[in-house]
Amino acid sequence: MSGLFISFEGGDGAGKSTQVQMLAEWLRRVHQREVITTREPGGTALGRVLRDQLLHGQDLDARTEALLFAADRAHHVATVIRPALAAGAVVLTDRYLDSSVAYQAAGRELPADDVERLSLWGTNGLLPELTVLLDLPTEHLAHRLGDWTDRMERAGIEFHRRTRQAFLDRAAADPARWLVLDAALSRAQIAEQVRTAVGPLLDEPAGSGAGSTAPGQVGEEH
């Protein structure tokens, strides 16, 4: 059974971690799959040090910030994600490379190609087979302004508007990889739509009901 790599993206508070847990539970219970749930930044011991500095450390210039997110990702891929995929697991990550393109390129206004290439180099070209975008209007963040405590959250409403638009633009440019969902839907409705997209990506023996098409080909039907 081959591994399957899925990322969840979206603004702060869009409900990504809940959906990661709901999908993991379904994959384990209904499909008996080995599932690894993880996140960026901070999916490794080194990553947790980087996460603490990135979110709660001193101010960083944009390029340093981009390099540290990419370093977190490179180590995460090399030590957690690739080994799990090689063992046939499903890997669900709360944020991945597209967050860097949205936050460090569109948000911090670095060239998107540079930021994307940096992560592709760091990960030796690993992209998810499916990326679920939980999209929320930026305005919903405004009422949480008072609660914002980390460096990324403090970047301001215009910054977050640019990150949202970058996610939407990337999704529109590569519909085979992306599933865009309205994060204002109920948890159950979102989970159902995620399962509908993930089901055909599970290569299970013929007759098991979930289809046997290889990952990467099915995505083109989205």
- Chain residues binding ligand TYD by CB under 6 A are 12, 40-41, 55, 69, 94-95, 99-100, 103-104, 152-153
Angle at 103 between CA 98 and CA 104, to 5 degrees: 100
Written as one string, the DSSP assignment of 28-89 is HHHH---EEEEESS-SSHHHHHHHHHHHHSS---HHHHHHHHHHHHHHHIIIIIHHHHHTT-
Q: Which is nearer to ligand TYD, 44 or 99 (CB)?
A: 99
Q: How far is the CB of 71 from ligand TYD (least distance, A)?
A: 11
147 vs 192, beta carbon nearer ligand TYD: 147
CB of 104 to ligand TYD, least distance (A): 6
Residue 164 contacts residue 11 (beta carbons within 8 Å): yes
Are 91 and 5 spatial neighbours (Cβ–Cβ below 8 Å)?
yes
Considering the complex, state which of residue 167 and residue 202 has its C-beta at the smaller distance from ligand TYD.
Answer: 167
In the bound complex, what is the minimum distance in angstroms from residue 101's beta carbon to ligand TYD?
Answer: 8
Instruction: Name the residue number minimizing CB distance to ligand TYD.
Output: 103
DSSP run (H or E) holding 8 = strand 4-10
Q: How far is the CB of 34 from ligand TYD (least distance, A)?
A: 24
Distance CA 135, CA 170 (A): 13
Whose Cβ is closer to ligand TYD: residue 99's or residue 200's? 99
